[in-house]
Every structure is written in C-alpha cells, then in structure tokens.
Structure 1
C-alpha cells in the first residue's frame, strides 16, 4: 500500500545512485524478527494485524521494513527501520509528510491538527513526531505518520485504515508503537518540534563551475565525509558532549521533489533529500579547502549521502544552484567513503583528471 518517494527518472542513470533491488526477508512465522544492528524487533502480530511482508531495501539491514495487514485488508501498518546519516527527526519527518500529502493516488488528505511530539518507549524526552490525516476520494478513511529516533536509526510507521476515523486511528497507532520490540537501551535524543521555515534566502550567485582537481583535497573530503556519515565516530569526538544539535529550517522557496533544508542561520549550504529514507545531497563550503589553507580559492563540496556510503563529486567554485544537482549526480564521483562496515575509501583516478 505504501510506496517510498521515487528518485527522479533523470537521476537513475547516475552510477552512484544505482540501488540494489529490495530483497524479501524470510521471517519465521510466529516469531519476532530482530534487527541485528539495533536490537529492535518486528513482532509476528501488531495490534491484531499479521506480519505479511518484509523487505531488506539496503543490505546489510541498513534499511528494512515489514508490513502488517488485517485479514480483510481494512487496515495496514508499515514499519521501517533505516540509518539516519544526516539531518534530524524534524527534517526527515517533514520530507515524509510531503510524500504523504502529495501522493494523490491515495486520495486527498486533510491534516488533523499539526504534528505533535511524544515520548517513545525507552526514552525520556518527546523526541518523536506524529501526524494524522483524514482522507477523501479514496477507499481509505485515514492515515498517520510517525517518526521515532532510535540511536543512529529512525523508525518510521505508516498506518492507514478503511474503517477508523483519524482520532481512532492515531490511538491505535500509539498502541502499535508500544507493542513493537524496542531495545532495552536507547541513546538519548533531543526533543523534537516541527521544522520551521527558513527566513532568509540562499546566497546563490549563478551556475557553479567545477574547480581544478586536487588529490589531497579530495582525500581529506572523503575522510571528513566518512566521519560525518558515521554517527558513532562523531560521538567519540572530544567535543561531542558539548555539541548542540543542529536546528534545521525548510526552504520553501525552492521547489523540488522533496524540499530543501539548511541549518538555521546559514545561507551558503543545503541538504536536498532524494527520498524519504535518508538519501540526500549535501553541499557546503569545503572544509578540506579550509584545512589545507586554500582561503584564496574557496570551494564547495558536493556529496551524495546514502545508507552505507558517501559519494563526493568534484568541488564547485560557488554554492551550486539546486537545479544543477541532477547534472552533478550524473558525473563520476571523485571519491567515495564507506560509512558502514569496512570503512574503505575509494579514489577514482579518472574523475580526478
């Protein structure tokens, strides 16, 4: 019933965006299925709905999901678990909210109030967000979206019903949240509030041009990207305890498939989601250029963030226009860095020439 946001057709030709086909998960009937990285488990039934389908979207268990469905198909819950390598709960909730509201094939949605924060099982702050909609023009009567942080992972719950009105559905969603198999220990997460709109425009200055290839710069960018995409590495940094979580804002002036986001108070960087499951393009002033004392020729890094790897493209001489992202992603990445597993860094000599 639920389909994630598809990548734009023009991006599917990018080698970096080539995705594996989702693989069916063989879960033993009557037994919970455990997510080996977090300890989260998918029970065989959920508030009376039977677990009917599971898929591993990105191996090894970096993005997976299960569906739960009523015997008469009147109600369905989809539970996703995937890595959060960028952004925040409010940011990715906003992306998923837009996906729900723009899918016209499932009817017209009217939000039931505004997104509300709540304290999920095993946590001490209202770190999760939830919103429900009334549906017209469809067999469905209501739907809801819930996003919960779980350490380095996100748990997303989509719940829809033919029979329940939205208030009743959200009560059942809360019951489903409580009935899922949560780990005994979950890292503390900041309180969540619905994302605010940016108040100032991006500082765009025309088409961004590639800068001259620089092997040292590219290698430093890859190392930094690997650290940024690996939350465990960030937590081990000396100043991690004092770090203030980034507050993001949504740039509604830029119209693209899944919105545009930036840290509040900045105009020289942005995150452009390509899906509602954490895939995004991140461009910012090059930290490598600053570290290598290239102050006279500043550049902007452009990275594609996926569940297990970050791809770095040739730097640009200014902040790329959002409309340039498609073309950049068709280029050969200069480097790529694994953010899961062996932590390998690859350098494409052909892209460096």
Structure 2
C-alpha cells in the first residue's frame, strides 16, 4: 500500500484531517489470541489458512487504518489492511492498488505481464461477486515468483490482502489467496455489496488552469455539510467510476461516466481522495465547483472554484487551503464542524 505520498502531501491547511503516519503504532495483542476490530467486527486470528500472525498496527489513533503482518510456508508473506475509504468503491481502490504493484521496482513487471483478475464473493457476501483479486506471475529480475492482491468490502470499509512469494508460482499463490481470504472472520449481517468489475478507461475532465477559488459563506458551509451528512445516512448506491488519467502511484483521476462535470483524485491506494464536483447554483447565482478532501474518518470542504480546475490545480489547492467546514464519515455522520472565522462573520 502507498501511504508515503499522502504523508508527503502533509495537508497542513486541513487541520481536521491528518495524513497517514509513516509507520504504524503497534497494537498489543497476545500472539495466541484473536483480535477483533471494534468498528467493523472483523476478527484477525493468530493463524489463517497456514499463515501465522506476526503483528498488528494502526496508522493513526482511532483504528481507521489497520495493518496486520502474517508469515506463511513457501517463502510467502501476507499483509492485511483494513481501512475506511473516503470513497466507497471496491473497483476504484482495486485499480489504484494494482497500479501500486505494477509500478514498484521490486516486482520488475514486464509491460506485457497481465494479471489474472477474478471477481469473487467474500465470506458472507451472499454469493455476490463484490470483491476483486489479481494475481501476477513474476520472475526475471524480480526477487519474487508471484504476487497477489484482493480487495473486499466490509460494509463501507475495505479489507485489502496482499501476498508475495519467492517460491510459489502464480497458480499456487492464487490458491493461497483464495484460502486466506476465505478464512478471515467477517462480521455477520452485513448488507450485500454490489457486484464489482475492474474500472474502464475514459476521457479526462476538461479542467481549466485559470480556475480560481472563491471565498465561502455561511450558507454554502451549511448546505455542503448538511448534504454530506444526509448522503452518509441515505447510503445511496455506490457510483461506477471510470479511470480518466493518473500520475503514477501519486494519484489517479476517476469520473462517473454519466456526462456530469467533476472528478475525484484517489491519492495513493490507501483510501484518501480529493473530490471536485459541480455545485447546484444558489438562487440563480454563478456555477461553482466544490473542493473536498475525503479522509478516512472525515470529509473536509475547502473553498470552491469559479470553474472546473485541472487535477494539478485541485491538488495544490487541497494542500494549501483552509477548510471552512467538515463532517464526520464514521458513525451516523451527524457531527458537523464549521470554521470559527466563518461563524464569526456578520451575516
């Protein structure tokens, strides 16, 4: 998983949304005991399908971004990630995780190497193929014989599993991935997620490098925050995204192919994103384009643009602007925070 880029961005202006730490803090869990994630009910046992748990860590303080390391036979290592993504989409984060694999020097993938991509139903998935996995044959200059990735939904959380082996070929590693993902204890009673399929390519958004940010007002702050909170409670169907552009592992631009303006920038592959979307004009006012930073536990709203910005401009603005409002995205989504400077203005 690529967290270093998000950490480098620093998002100093956001204040309410902290980036991932460079190293996880270790959670004190007895080696012989299962560990239950309180926010999802996922249980990580000390042994899973022939893999032995070595450590559990948290890239933060609230257990929104968990990592567990396992060792297995056949010189095979497993890493399990559990995090709450800012954008709820298995295909999008599967696509970003694939790019992280394909661009890493350690795997030395040939441009012609194609993975075996398989939709599958996770434990308790009701038979719906809502998860995706990809297994790559390696060799040549790589120190590994194969590597594999799986992304599974757990409500509005994601469980990502990574396997790499210096001995097992792709077929054998794929079988190990099937066994491992099937052995993870997922909570009962989770609503079935939609069927997942790899994203398709599409044209980039036609943003302008001349776009400028507009100072927010109280009405905008209240409307944006309330809309985000309501969307959280309504749990609308997950949009289908297409891949429009990318800047290597740093970010990928994704759009909803329905003809509407706007896009999201998925930062790295660990759940954080920037959103740029057309706002509904207020009382016949000019068209504006919202800018938001979608972290693991909170969405922060930054000053809007007077026209659709380029991804590079949106990224720069997100790193330098101060949010005027934010809403929690874990729990009932009802906790709204407004900037004190904005609330102090005369209205």
TM-score, normalised relative to structure 1: 0.87
CA RMSD of aligned residues (A): 2.3
On the 8 A contact 2:265/2:275 being kept in 1, the answer is yes
Is 1:338 the counterpart of 2:328 in the alignment?
yes
Q: Which whole-Å CA distance do the structure 2 matches of 1:15 and 1:192 have between them? A: 35
Secondary structure at the aligned position of 1:325 is classed as helix
Correspondent of 2:124 among 111, 118, 122: 122
Is 1:217 the counterpart of 2:244 in the alignment?
no
On the 8 A contact 1:226/1:310 being kept in 2, the answer is no
On the 8 A contact 2:7/2:20 being kept in 1, the answer is no
Secondary structure at the aligned position of 1:149 is classed as strand
Equivalent pairs counted in the alignment come to 334
1:68 shift after superposition: 0.1
TM-score, normalised relative to structure 2: 0.88
Q: State how 1:231-246 maps to structure 2 within 5 Å.
A: 233-235=233-235, 240=236, 244-246=237-239
Gaps of 5+ in 1: none
Residue of structure 2 equivalent to 1:48: 50
Change in 2 beyond 3 A, CA 1:48/1:245:
closer
Q: State how 1:92-171 maps to structure 2 within 5 Å.
A: 92-108=93-109, 111-123=113-125, 124-136=127-139, 137-171=141-175
Secondary structure at the aligned position of 2:255 is classed as strand
Change in 2 beyond 3 A, CA 1:115/1:95:
same
1:306 shift after superposition: 0.5
Q: Which whole-Å CA distance do the structure 1 matches of 2:79 and 2:99 have between them? A: 17
Residue of structure 2 equivalent to 1:322: 311
Gaps of 5+ in 2: none
Correspondent of 1:347 among 335, 338, 341: 338
Residue of structure 2 equivalent to 1:183: 187
Change in 2 beyond 3 A, CA 1:90/1:71:
closer
Residue of structure 1 equivalent to 2:18: 18
Residue of structure 2 equivalent to 1:271: 264
On the 8 A contact 2:82/2:160 being kept in 1, the answer is yes
Q: Which whole-Å CA distance do the structure 2 matches of 1:78 and 1:300 have between them? A: 38
Secondary structure at the aligned position of 1:104 is classed as coil
Change in 2 beyond 3 A, CA 1:5/1:98:
farther
